[in-house]
Amino acid sequence: MQLTFLGTSAGRPTRTRNVTSIALSLPEPQCGFWLFDVGEGTQHRMLGSRFKLNKLERIFVTHLHGDHIYGLPGLLSSRGYFEGAGPLTIYGPSGLRRYLAGIFELTGVHLGYELNVVEIAEGEVVADDRYVVEAAELQHRLPCFGYRITERPQPGPLNLKRLGELGVPAGPLYGKLKRGEDITLECGRSIAASDVAGTPQPGRVVTILGDTRPCDNAVRLAMNADLLVHEATFAGGLEEKAAAYGHSTFTQAAEIARDAGAKRLVVTHFSSRYDDEAVAELANGVKDIFAEIEPAVEMTDILIPRPPLTNS
């Protein structure tokens, strides 16, 4: 599992930064990716990268400000040209369906694949056998959501030596045991998955917040997260200006991470007044509040490692 920032600028693009979009790459067996926001130019950022639109599985929109969604119609249209592009679900605030329907009607777009638009409320928005995604409303000038992605615990490694002693043939039965299913051999012998698998591995938690002032829901969504992505539009000391625009400072982002007990903080959504050197200095300047802070760098992967395995 890893994050790639396809845009880190607030409000408008700059010569070195695109507007907001984040890709979350999923591990096996999916090997696909999700997008969080699709600012203008997002699909251009993908050109020449490993990201192929037929591997895009879900899109999560935080809010309807243009720097977070103006790239969405073009990306959805282009996806139809990729062979094997299957159904796609987009999650976001009320009004998202109307926004897309209006553009598609006026421009005569035919996607060629099934598109589902889910206008969300607070609470659980996705739950499958690998992940749970929760949303909560933040404090911005438009309705805006943050997302908490929780990976379900994964089965531990199989004890291959024990499987050999029990006479379990390699193949589909290994897969069943790996998924936690008990099996019965042809001889009638029953084997419990718990007897041949290691300790289940805890899942990872990633929190990706939209634009926001500091608020209780930001802390709740980020509680004990392995990685928190929080906006840092302004430098510390500009809290009054940040509040007026519904944003946060580097100082406030560090305080949210600290209060939530997050393990790691990546800040993004930087005002165009700050160049890369200034952004690095601003992040270093709040390490006394939260040491594990780093600024997002576009097209750089941020790995989210699994916790160490503990074998039974």
- Within this chain, do residues 141 and 168 fall inside the same structural domain, yes or no? no
Res. 46: pLDDT tops 60: yes
**pLDDT score of 307:** 67
38 CB-near residues (< 8 Å, 6+ apart): 21, 59, 61, 68, 69, 71, 72, 75
**pLDDT score of 92:** 98
Res. 187: pLDDT tops 80: yes
**pLDDT score of 13:** 95
Model confidence, pTM: 0.88
Candidate from 4-8, 165-169, 225-229, 280-284 with smallest mean pLDDT: 165-169
More confident residue, 194 or 68: 68
- Within this chain, do residues 206 and 278 fall inside the same structural domain, yes or no? yes
Domain containing residue 183: 160-196
- Within this chain, do residues 178 and 104 fall inside the same structural domain, yes or no? no
- CA nearest to 20, candidates 269, 216, 277, 304: 269
Q: Was 269 annotated as part of a binding site?
A: yes
Amino acid identity of 126? Answer: V
**pLDDT score of 312:** 41
Q: Is residue 310 part of a domain?
A: no
Please state the rounded mean pLDDT for residues 64-85. Answer: 94
Please state the rounded mean pLDDT for residues 99-119. Answer: 94
Phi, psi dihedrals of residue 173, rounded to the nearest 5°: -65, -35
Cβ atoms of 225 and 262 closer than 8 Å: yes
- Within this chain, do residues 219 and 279 fall inside the same structural domain, yes or no? yes
- CA nearest to 38, candidates 13, 11, 9, 60: 60
Reported as type and span, the H/E element at residue 280 is helix 276-284
- Within this chain, do residues 143 and 182 fall inside the same structural domain, yes or no? no
Q: What is the pLDDT of residues 110-125, one digit of tens each?
A: 898 999 999 999 999 9
**pLDDT score of 76:** 97
More confident residue, 193 or 287: 287
- Within this chain, do residues 142 and 253 fall inside the same structural domain, yes or no? yes
- Within this chain, do residues 146 and 183 fall inside the same structural domain, yes or no? no
Q: Which of 67, 129, 182, 195 is catalytic?
A: 67
Mean pLDDT of the chain: 92
CA–CA distance from 88 to each of 25, 40, 199 (Å)? 16, 19, 34
Number of domains the chain is built from: 2
Q: In whole angstroms, what is the distance from residue 193 CA to residue 191 CA?
A: 6
3-state DSSP assignment of residue 207: strand
- Within this chain, do residues 168 and 282 fall inside the same structural domain, yes or no? no
**pLDDT score of 258:** 98
Q: In whole angstroms, what is the distance from residue 97 CA to residue 171 CA?
A: 45
Amino acid identity of 99? Answer: Y
CATH of the domain at 282: 3.60.15.10
**pLDDT score of 271:** 97
Q: Was 68 annotated as part of a binding site?
A: yes
Please state the rounded mean pLDDT for residues 274-298. Answer: 97
E strands in 113-259: 115-119, 123-127, 131-137, 145-151, 183-184, 190-191, 205-209, 227-231
Res. 30: pLDDT tops 80: no
**pLDDT score of 105:** 94
Q: Is residue 248 part of a domain?
A: yes
Q: Is residue 80 part of a domain?
A: yes
Last residue of a domain, one of 137, 170, 196: 196
Please state the rounded mean pLDDT for residues 150-164. Answer: 84
Res. 163: pLDDT tops 90: no
- Within this chain, do residues 134 and 21 fall inside the same structural domain, yes or no? yes
Q: Categorize the per-residue pLDDT at 205 as very low, low, confident or very high, splitting at 50, 70 and 90.
A: very high
Note if 259 is an active site residue.
no
Q: Is residue 312 part of a domain?
A: no
150-180 exposure pattern, b = at least 16 Cβ within 10 A, e = fewer: bbeebbbebbeeebeeeebeeeebbeebbee
- Within this chain, do residues 164 and 293 fall inside the same structural domain, yes or no? no
Q: Is residue 309 part of a domain?
A: no
Please state the rounded mean pLDDT for residues 235-241. Answer: 96
Res. 308: pLDDT tops 70: no
Q: Is the dihedral of CA 128, 131, 132, 136 positive or negative?
A: negative
Q: Was 110 annotated as part of a binding site?
A: no
Q: Is residue 308 part of a domain?
A: no
- Within this chain, do residues 40 and 6 fall inside the same structural domain, yes or no? yes
Res. 149: pLDDT tops 50: yes
- Within this chain, do residues 134 and 147 fall inside the same structural domain, yes or no? yes
Q: Was 211 annotated as part of a binding site?
A: yes
Q: Was 140 annotated as part of a binding site?
A: yes
